[in-house]
Structures are given as C-alpha cells and as structure tokens.
Amino acid sequence: MLIDRQHAILDLAREVGRVLVDDLATRFEVSPQTIRKDLNELCDRRLLARVHGGAVLASTVKNVGYEARRQIAAAEKRAIGEAAAALIPNDASLFINIGTTTEAVAQALLQHSGLMVITNNINVANLMRAYSGIDVVIAGGQVRHADGGIIGEAAVDFIRQFKVDFAIVGTSAIDEDGALFDYDFREVKVAQAIIANARRVILVADETKFERTAPVRIGSVAQADVFVTDRCPRESVRRLCAEAEVELIETASAHGGHAGAAV
C-alpha cells in the first residue's frame, strides 16, 4: 500500500509530468532522502520512472499530457530552441513537427524573416501565424485531440509535396543505440516523411528523452545532420554522432553545465 505522501507525489506527477526531489522535499517538509525512498518505491512498482534529479510517469505506450510535457525541462527546452533557431538563416524553408521541444524552436524563430514553415503542429501554426515575416503552411489530416498534432496518411501525402532546407524534428525517446521512438505510429509516419524530404535535419531533444521508452521506431540519431540537446549522457550516442558525422550541440555546456559542447 502506498502512503498518503506517495499518492500525492503520484498525483502531482500525473498533473505536471515530472517531479523533482528538492521540490518535493520542500513541498512535503521532509528530507531529500525520504523523497528518494518514496520515488524508489514508486519506481519499483513501475508507477514512475527515475530521471536525473527526480522522476516522470512511467509508461511505454502512452505519452505524458501535452501541457505537462511543456513543463518538463522547460528551461532546457528554451535553450535548445534558441540553439536550434540560431542554425536557421533568414529566407529558409523548413518543416517543424509535433512536440514541445520543436515548439520551443518555433518560439525562438519568431524574429526571423522570410521563412516558409510547413508544420503538422497546430500549436506551432497558431504561434507563428501572426508574424508577417513568416509564411505558415499547415498539413491536412486528422487532428489528434491530445496535442493538436495532425497525423495520418493525408498528412504524409501533404508533406511529400515539398523539399525544404531544414527539418526540425523531435522524439519521445532515445535508445542506447541511438534509435528514436514515439508513441503513435501515425505520427511516426509523418516524422519519417519530414526527415526524408528535408535537405538538412536538426534533431532536438532534452536529456529526459534518454530515460524514456516508447514503442514505435522513427529512425536513428544518425539520420540527423545536427543533434541539439541540453546534455547527452550516453557515450554510445556520442560515438554514433562521431561515426555518422552528426554535429552534437549541448546547450548545458555552453552555460557551464557540462563539458563537450560539440562533436
């Protein structure tokens, strides 16, 4: 049986997606060691999964809610967004797919001019539509209730009409061998079409994606030209980037957080 505090931790994780040891210790007025014990028990029961500094909801078949995902590693996603946007020149065409990290890139691109943005992300389209320097083209197809993503074969066929300069692509999970995974096979098909129809692919994902699992394979880190993350904790993925000539940009090292900014 879970104690009341553990139930409360689980409820909070369901609400915000990710819980941190120090925040929980302050909230419940207990020691960090007590919270770590709670998290370990919840993880042993497969209700949560440990990540650096805390835990996230444990599910290999269903993603965390979109608003909760926005709050997970929010500062890290902003830094990733700014770093990725800095790689995009004015007067470029690009795909932006579904995700809160790709949405952070879109936010950082708002001061660019002459962009043509093709997206299957209603949130990105709504964010960018008011800016006169950006032409937004939105894919047709089924709109997913959970996050406003446009998915399915109609979206795939729409994407295949284009060949763009850049693709901004996110992922839900990164395996030890560099494989990229997501939860919805319909979304994965759109992501694969985006990768196939861009001249340069920029993968964006925060460190928590290394600690998650999902069932549907998108592809591999090796298919990207640039991988922008806050920190890459897997030496196997670092080696893959070096072997496949994928530029690895770690935003945490740029701010003094970790070493090894690029490969």
Tokens representing 74 are 């929010």
Domains of the chain: 4-58 (1.10.10.10), 73-254 (3.40.50.1360)
pLDDT tens digits, 206-250 = 998 897 888 999 999 999 999 999 999 999 999 999 999 999 999
Task: Please list, in sequence order, all residues whose beta carbon lies within 8 angstroms of the beta carbon of residue 117, skipping any fewer than 6 positions away.
Answer: 93, 94, 95, 96, 106, 109, 124, 128, 134, 135, 136, 137
Residue type for 83, please? A
Q: Give the C-alpha distances (Å, rounded to integers) separating 11 from 4, 5, 48, 56, 114.
A: 11, 10, 11, 11, 45
The predicted pLDDT at position 263 comes to: 36
More confident residue, 130 or 50: 130
Residue 10: pLDDT over 70:
yes
Residue 216 phi, psi dihedral angles, 5° rounding? -115, 125
The predicted pLDDT at position 67 comes to: 67
pLDDT tens digits, 139-160 = 999 898 888 899 999 999 999 9
Task: Please list, in sequence order, all residues whose beta carbon lies within 8 angstroms of the beta carbon of residue 88, skipping any fewer than 6 positions away.
Answer: 94, 109, 112, 115, 166
Reported as a pLDDT band with limits 50, 70 and 90, residue 62 is low
Q: Give CA–CA dist 198/196, Å, rounded.
A: 6
Are 193 and 120 spatial neighbours (Cβ–Cβ below 8 Å)? Answer: no
Q: Give CA–CA dist 224/259, Å, rounded.
A: 22
Phi-psi region of 149 (alpha: psi -120 to 50; beta: other; left: phi over 0): beta
